[in-house]
Structure formats: structure tokens, C-alpha cells
Amino acid sequence: MIDTAIASLTSGGAYALLGVGLVLTYRMTGVLNFAHAVVGAFGTYTAIVAFEAGVGYGAAMILGVAVAALLSGGIGVVMARWFAEEATIVRSTVTIAIFLGVLVVGFRLFGDTPRVVPALLPGVRLEVGTVTLTGSTLLSVGGVAVLAGAVAWFLAKTRTGIVLRAVSERPTTARLLGVPLRTLVVAVWAVSGAVAGAAVTIIAPTRTNDYASLAILILPALAAALLGGFQRVGATIVAGFGIALVELMGARIPAVARYRTVVPFLVILAALLWMQRKEVWDEAR
């Protein structure tokens, strides 16, 4: 059991990172970003291609994260420029179109076969009692800790963070107060893209990593964000680790091992059933 839990930490951390990115873009800019994971996958594949072409390992990884940040920032520009006043459903629909676009462009550039992805921090191992933590696991869990801490600190303590919270609650008011809304929105998108790039790169060596499979990481991320109510960062992180644990426990039972992709779907169903205890109405009167 402990082995399973430890083994699920890498995936769990990545799900949590992706889920937190979804929650942040939803809270700050009112978009459910379906293109989130595919942008991360695009960054990861850029890193792989660069590495295969002879770019140094660290440089390639940084390049990948940077590309994901740029791509996501670009989506942010589109959102801020053309869809600032639209309803959440419209903006989310736009991200579905972008999901498709980035997916297909990636197919063309990267093909649809899995690659050998070098594990991150290959030499690093941490022995705690009988348990061994690999470099990937440490990065994943550490990444979550750093991100969670940074988000909490940023939103509570910095002026920009407070402004961003104001923006998410009252966009028009914030703009009237002279907040440079577009710049902030684009920055949120870029940061969330960078986190997605890092998360997908961490998880890529540990599983089937063709481009489409990595793009489908949007599902566990959505499930985690849904359990966090698209509001709570902490709950999303816990949910990310929980989903990975359930997946891996399933994978160790031979009879259900092949159905691992169903886990996020079942979590989504359960979360929705739980959430609809009370009726919720659309925008205020």
C-alpha cells in the first residue's frame, strides 16, 4: 500500500499542478481552459525534439517550459483581446477550438508515436526507511509544494495578487480603477502554461507518452479541479494526488488494470453528483 502510494506521487503531483493551473485561470480570468494539457504537451515535445537535436538536457527542458508559457500567453492575448466581455461558456468553447488546433499542429510536428523521454534528475534518489523516492517524484511533489506556497503567498501578500483577486471578482471595476487588466490576464495565462509544461514534462517519462496521450492529461486535471470546485487550490491538490492513487491501485488489480483511463471519468461523475445536491442558478439577477 505504501509502495503504491509512493509510486503514485509523481503522477499525483503532475495532476495537482495541472489542476491548480486550471483553477487559477478559471478564478482569475473566468475560463475553463480545455487547451491546458495540450499546451503542456506541446512544450514537452518541443523539449524532447530539442534534446534529440543535441541541445543540452537542462536547456531543452527550460526551452520546453518557455514554449508552453509563450503558447499559453498567446491564448491569454486572444482571450483578453477578443473575449474579455464574453460569458464563461463562450470563452471555454474558444479553448476547445484551440485545444483542437494545438493538438493537430502537434501531430503534424511531432507525430503520434511515443518517444524515449529522459527521466528528470536521473541520478537523484532519496531513501527514507524502506522507501525510495526518485528524482521525478521529488520534482513532482516539490513542484506542488512550491506552487501551492507561491500561490498562497502571492494572492494573500502581494499587491498584484490582491489586484488579481479583485479582477476575478469584479473585472470591470478593476479596470475602472486603472488596473492593467490585459497584462495581468496574459501573465496568469503564461505562468499557468509554464506550470503545465513542467508538469507534463515531469510525468512524460513515467507513462505512455505519445503526444495525444499527454494531451489527454486534461482529464485527470479537470477531475481534480472539479473536486476543488474550480475555487480551492488546496482541495485540487489533494484531489490530484487522490486520483493518481486510485488509478495506480486499479492498475495493480489485473482484472481492471486496462481500464485506468476510466478513473478520471468516474471521478468527474462522482464529483458532479455530489455537487448537484443543491441547485445553483446562473448569474445574479
Partner 1 sequence: MRRGDLVLFGSVAAATVLFALLPPFWAFLASSAFISALLVSSVGVVYGRAGMVSLCQVTFAGIGGWVVGYLGVATAVPYPVALVLGALAAVPVGVVIGLPALRLRGVNLAVVTLGFAVAVSSVVFVQGFPGARTNDPVTRPGLVAGERGFMVFTAAVFLVVAAALLATKRTRLGAAWEAVRHSERATAALGLSVPFIKLSAFAVSAFVAGLAGGLLAAQLGFLNARNVEPVDSLVVFVIGVFVGAHHVGGALLGGVLGSFFPELLRRLSIPQDVGPILFAIGATHILAQGGRGLAEHLGRRRPAAGGDVVVLRPEGGAPTRHRADPGRDLVLRASGIEVRYGAVVALEDVDVEVAQGRILGLIGPNGAGKSTLVDVITGFHRPDAGSVTVGETVLDGLPAHRRARLGIRRTFQTERTVPALGAGDYLRLAAGGHLDRAEVVELLAFLDGPDPDTPVYAVDTGTRRRLEIMGCLAARPTFLLLDEPAAGLTEDESLRLADRLRQVPERFGVGLLVVEHDIDLVAAVCDELVVLDFGRVIGRGAPDEVLASDVVAEAYLGV
Rounded-to-integer distance, Cα 84 and Cα 279, Å: 28
Least Å distance, CB 37 to partner 1, is: 11
Contacts (Cβ under 8 Å, ≥6 apart) of 205: 117, 118, 119, 120, 136
121 interacts with partner 1 by CB under 8 A: no
Rounded-to-integer distance, Cα 210 and Cα 217, Å: 11
257 interacts with partner 1 by CB under 8 A: no
80 interacts with partner 1 by CB under 8 A: no
Instruction: Check: CB of residue 28 under 8 Å from CB of residue 160.
Output: no
96 interacts with partner 1 by CB under 8 A: yes
Residue 128 has phi, psi (to 5 degrees) of: -120, 105
Residues 6-65 that bind partner 1 (CB under 8 A): 32, 34
Q: At residue 261, what is the residue type?
A: T
280 interacts with partner 1 by CB under 8 A: yes
Instruction: Check: CB of residue 55 under 8 Å from CB of residue 233.
Output: no
Tell me the three state secondary structure of residue 125.
strand
Residue whose CB is less far from partner 1, 90 or 146: 90
Q: Could you tell me which stretch among 60-68, 101-109, 121-129, 197-205 binds partner 1 (CB under 8 A)?
A: 101-109
Rounded-to-integer distance, Cα 173 and Cα 115, Å: 48
Q: Could you tell me which stretch among 8-16, 97-105, 172-180, 186-194 binds partner 1 (CB under 8 A)?
A: 97-105
200 interacts with partner 1 by CB under 8 A: no
Residues of the shown chain interacting with partner 1 in the complex, contacts defined by CB under 8 A: 32, 34, 78, 82-83, 86, 88-90, 92-94, 96-101, 103-105, 107-108, 212, 216, 218-219, 222-223, 226, 258-259, 261-262, 264-265, 268-269, 272-273, 275-276, 279-282, 285
